[in-house]
Amino acid sequence: MKSFALKVFFRIPIWFLKILYFNKKSVFRGHQFDIQSQALINLQPKIDLTEIPDDEIHVTRNLIIENRIKNRLSLYPNMPVKTVDNYINDTGKLLLREYTPSEISSQKAILFFHGGGYVLNSVSTHDLTVSYMADRLQTKIYSLDYSLAPESKYPVALDEARQAFDWLQTQGYQASDISLCGDSAGAHLAASLVHKILHSDSTKIPDSQFLIYPMCDPACDSESFKVLSDGYLLTQRTMVWFWKKLGNNLIKDNDDSFNLLKLDSNSKLPNTIVVTAGFDPLCDDGESYAFLLHKRGDVVKQLHYPKMFHGFASVTRLKAAKKAVDDFLAEYKKIL
């Protein structure tokens, strides 16, 4: 959608959309899909990413990044947030963008990883989302522009995430001062990093992890995947494709930094919050991961938003999405 069309859309009264979609309601597990979200998704252009050859993915990716920046779906922060770009590895090309809110109430830092199936998006597509989070949380956030698939397959992004985690410790933060956060693939990367650290040095695990509708299991065969396979922005077919581009095979399926549900460690995980959305194919996988941690005796909380969809955290111009994001950020702030 063009920027002008979006401005018009967000001014349409919810009561009018309810009339318009009166006979088109979507219901899953006793909850109705948020009408404004449903209308916005129906207006989005349909792109079948799975038909794009590997050597053309970068072109589509750049177009999506450009359109996401141009067609703003996230709200601006209430107060100014300062950004500084740090380049942290030996090549001088690994970007870690630092967000400093006008007011800081926590001396901890958040290491954030953007979503996009490990194939799409960038620090720039999530710039407003992270700025909004930094302002609400009153905490510094560092957002990593990790390498994407299929050009860089697993575990390249994971190795870069570890570099960012280690770099923060050279800047004066202890591991216990760092919280990991991400959405979708970024949430998978955050949890993947925790699993990796557990196997290498369990004395240096981060303070906490906040996982927003995480990718968890490359099988993509849960009930929510089957029932919500199409029509809710993220499709089952696309998710299978994302995992394949990342580097899926039978050997990696048993790697608990790849398949989170294969967690194989007796070490205690950090305080964890998992966010799930009712109309998200990934919903059941996120709940399974939260339950796995609960069974292990780890401290974990699941925040479920039954009327929302995958990606809502970056679409805070939607009224229900803003309400949900403000709610989960209030919960996140409690553990920082």
Lookup: tokens for 77: 């922060």
The secondary structure of 202-247 as a DSSP string is GGG--SEEEEES----TT--SHHHHHTSSSSSS-HHHHHHHHHHHT
Q: Kind of pairing, strands 81-87 and 95-101? A: antiparallel
Residue with tokens 């927003």: 212
d(CA 154, CA 188): 12
Lookup: tokens for 168: 């923060």
d(CA 269, CA 281): 25
On average, the pLDDT of the chain sits at: 95
pLDDT tens by residue, 129-154: 999 999 999 999 999 999 999 999 99
- Nearest one of 115, 251, 96 to 161, comparing CA atoms: 96
236 membership: H or E segment, kind and range? helix 236-246
Q: Is 313 left (phi over 0), alpha (psi -120 to 50) or beta?
A: alpha
The predicted model scores a pTM of 0.97
d(CA 118, CA 69): 18
pLDDT at 22: 84
* Segments in the chain below pLDDT 70: 1-2, 250
Residue with tokens 């992270």: 130
pLDDT at 98: 98
Q: Which amino acid belongs to residue 273?
A: I
